[in-house]
Structure 1
Amino acid sequence: MNDVVDQDRAWTVENVQDLQALAREKVPASVIALRLRRSQADIHAKASEIGVTLVAE
């Protein structure tokens, strides 16, 4: 499995739904980043863009 984080890939509807669901479950951004294979900065940027609040780590 390739463990490289791909910051240039577009967000799919499924990715956004996963982000929203994980944030509702109070999963930390670092774990969301691992699950979605994105950087923490990418997670924070998208969360801010769509109005999702992330828990502090």
Structure 2
Amino acid sequence: MFSHEGTALELLTLVFGVTGVLLIAWFFHHQYELRARKRVKKQHAHHKQATTQNH
């Protein structure tokens, strides 16, 4: 159709590919952050129980 059609498709593929990789990276980072928060809450809860048992 147009002479630049191949280049445009390659550029769109590149943009969507990079966006997809960034979304996947963000998802794994988000999951890591959620797990890290849960661990911190468990440690705080465990620490509070330990201090109340010592008194």
Q: TM-score, normalised by structure 2?
A: 0.28
